């Protein structure tokens, strides 16, 4: 075996992207430990051990995907898309109910969230469709097909119900259309139609989702119920100050005012803010900024349109999560339940995010060298 040829692709990886990824995973493990801390569990909590295992599995997949040419995905795009849709249908048929929602499947005793894999499949399928040499981007049919590819998983995810995850598909699809070269006038018309139809969503979403919107507008409406997490999150963020209270010293976190069911997942940024303060939050956001800049650079130097669309789509997907999660925890947006990439507790999201990062790095590895 030629070991030099086996590892040669890794020499072209973006070191800044890889280091930022590892840094965010490390931050996540640290604060998941804090958010799930129990003195009797010793050095590592059960959540920390599980997250470490998922991170290692995801990193192995990231480096494995980065090694192979992303252009091979073009031929498997529809299979991946259909596979994701089938998994979403299985959730509706045989899904596991957790906190009132059917979002998971039990696979050999492991709880898997198919919507995360379906998002990747939708990204690859939309990118493959738009990048086809025969595609006429000015043709309204092109936009209609892309919206259909986005709309099917969107509707299936909404049935779980999971509004937050479904909504992340929309900016991704919009960015793919924009980068592919669809006329700006068509995109503006699409955006205007979307805004005009937005009020209809009030009658489509579930009762608990309506309550979240009302609590966002008036947190005092139900301070001990639907408004509790929002209020406690804002207290945690505000009480952190400039430098934070110190690791394992956050009262909102350790004393359980920020519930242990959400602190390691949707509200992990609140834990970071309380214990490391504004400076700690700024450091985390700087790591995300490095990922964003590196992802955009990979797209800019991509060998073809397919690679550019894959990189841009993955970047937009991840940063939709970052923007919404941070805005949610500081009270600037309604609670949606979106995790923070690489930091929040959760196996499916961790693994699929790192697979997506592997695709970005594959685009970068096979870039045009200048």
Question: Among candidates 214, 283, 269, 209, which has minimal Cα distance to 237?
Answer: 269
Determine the Cα–Cα distance for residues 32 and 40; give it in Å rounded to an integer. Answer: 16
Does residue 65 register a pLDDT over 90?
Answer: yes
Query: How many angstroms from the chain centroid is the CA of residue 345?
Result: 12
Q: Mean pLDDT, to the nearest integer, of 146-156?
A: 95
Mean pLDDT of the chain: 89
**Angle of CA points 101, 102, 108, to nearest 5°:** 135
If residue 256 lies in a helix (H) or strand (E), which one and from where to where? none
pLDDT digits (tens, 9 = 90+) for 81-124: 999 999 999 999 887 777 667 788 888 778 889 999 999 999 99
Q: Would you state the structure tokens that stand for residue 342, as one six-digit string?
A: 């690489």
The alpha carbon of residue 213 and the mean position of all alpha carbons in its chain are separated, in whole angstroms, by 21
Under the banding of pLDDT at 50, 70 and 90, the label for residue 314 is: very high
- Domain assignment present for residue 2? The answer is no
Is 370 within a domain? no
- 5/12 Cα distance (integer angstroms): 13
Q: How many domains does the chain have?
A: 1
Sheet containing strand 110-112, edge to edge, reads 96-98, 101-107, 110-112
Calpha distance 86→288 (Å, rounded)? 32
Identify the band that residue 345 occupies on the pLDDT scale cut at 50, 70 and 90: very high
Distance, CA of 109 to CA of 201 (rounded, Å): 36
pLDDT band (50, 70, 90) for residue 39: low
- Domain presence at residue 79: yes
Q: What is the pLDDT of residue 128?
A: 96
Condensed to tens digits (0 to 9), the pLDDT of residues 229-271 reads 888 999 999 999 999 999 988 888 888 888 877 888 899 999 9
What's the token pair of residue 370? Answer: 């200048």
**pLDDT band at 199, cuts 50/70/90?**
confident
Q: Report yes or no on 338 lying in a domain.
A: yes
Render the burial of 307-328: b for 16+ CB within 10 Å, e for the rest.
bbbbbbbbbbbbbbbbbbbbeb
Burial, 93: exposed, middle or buried (Cβ in 10 Å; 0-12, 13-18, 19+)?
Answer: exposed
- For residues 360 and 298, the answer to whether their CB atoms sit within 8 Å is yes
At residue 217, the pLDDT reads 81
Question: pLDDT grade, residue 200 (50/70/90)?
Answer: confident
**Based on C-alpha coordinates, what's the Rg of the chain?**
21
Domain hosting residue 149, numbered range: 12-365
Q: Say if residue 23 is exposed, middle or buried (CB neighbours under 10 Å; 0-12, 13-18, 19+).
A: middle
Question: What pLDDT, on the 0 to 100 scale, is given for residue 365?
Answer: 93
The whole-number pLDDT of residue 4 equals 54
CA distance to 32, 46, 83, 331, per residue, from 37 (Å)? 8, 9, 38, 25
Task: Report whether pLDDT(6) > 70.
Answer: no
Is 4 within the bounds of a domain? no
| Predicted local confidence at residue 368, as pLDDT | 65
SS (H, E, C) 197-221: HHHHHHHCCCHHHHHHHHHHHCHHH
Whether residue 208 is predicted with pLDDT greater than 80 in this model: the reply is no
CA neighbor of 17 nearest in space, from 274, 325, 315, 368: 315
**Residue 217, domain member (yes or no):** yes
pLDDT value for 104 = 82
In a domain, 5, yes or no: no
3-state per-residue secondary structure call for 74-143: HHHHHHHHHHHHHHHHHHHHHCEEECCEEEEEEECCEEECHHHHHHHHHHHHHHHHHHCCCCCCCCHHHH
Looking at residue 297, its pLDDT comes to 95
DSSP assignment string, 298-323: HHHT-SSHHHHHHHHHHHHHHHHHHH
Q: Within 13 Å, how many C-alpha atoms sit on residue 339's CB side? A: 20
* Weakest mean pLDDT among 55-69, 195-209, 242-256, 347-361: 195-209
Q: Of 370 and 58, which is predicted with more confidence? A: 58
Q: What is the structure's pLDDT at 8?
A: 59
Residue bearing tokens 């991704």: 172
Q: 10 Å Cβ neighbour count for 61?
A: 16
Mean pLDDT, residues 283-310 taken together: 96
Within a domain: 22:
yes
């Amino acid at each position: 075996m030629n070991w030099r040829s086996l590892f040669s692709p890794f020499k072209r990886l973006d070191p800044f992207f890889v280091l930022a990824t590892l840094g965010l995973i490390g931050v996540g493990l640290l604060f998941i430990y804090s958010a799930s801390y129990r003195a009797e569990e010793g050095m590592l909590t059960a959540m920390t051990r599980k997250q470490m295992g998922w991170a290692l599995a995801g990193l192995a997949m990231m480096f494995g995907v980065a090694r192979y040419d992303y252009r091979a995905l073009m031929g498997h795009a529809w299979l991946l898309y259909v596979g994701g849709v089938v998994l979403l249908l299985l959730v509706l048929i045989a899904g596991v109910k957790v906190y009132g929602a059917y979002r998971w499947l039990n696979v050999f005793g492991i709880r898997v969230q198919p919507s995360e894999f379906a998002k990747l499949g939708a990204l690859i399928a939309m990118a493959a469709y738009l990048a086809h040499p025969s595609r006429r981007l000015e043709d309204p049919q092109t936009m209609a097909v892309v919206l259909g590819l986005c709309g099917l998983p969107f509707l299936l995810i909404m049935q779980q119900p999971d509004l937050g995850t479904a909504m992340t598909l929309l900016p991704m699809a919009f960015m793919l259309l924009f980068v592919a070269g669809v006329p700006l006038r068509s995109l503006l018309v699409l955006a205007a139609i979307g805004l005009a139809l937005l009020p209809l969503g009030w009658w489509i979403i579930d009762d608990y989702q309506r309550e979240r919107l009302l609590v966002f507008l008036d947190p005092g409406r139900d301070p001990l119920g639907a408004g509790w997490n929002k209020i406690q999150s804002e207290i945690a963020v505000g009480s952190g100050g400039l430098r934070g209270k110190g690791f394992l010293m956050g009262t909102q976190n350790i004393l359980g005012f920020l519930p242990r069911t959400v602190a390691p997942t949707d509200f992990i940024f609140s834990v970071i803010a309380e214990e490391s303060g504004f400076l700690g939050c700024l450091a985390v956001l700087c790591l995300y900024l490095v990922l964003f800049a590196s992802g955009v650079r990979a797209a800019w130097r991509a060998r073809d349109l397919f690679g550019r669309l894959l990189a841009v789509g993955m970047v937009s997907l991840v940063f939709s999560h970052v923007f919404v999660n941070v805005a949610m925890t500081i009270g600037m947006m309604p609670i949606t339940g979106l995790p923070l990439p690489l930091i929040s507790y959760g196996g499916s999201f961790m693994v699929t995010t790192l697979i997506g990062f592997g695709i970005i790095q594959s685009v970068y590895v096979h870039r045009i060298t200048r």
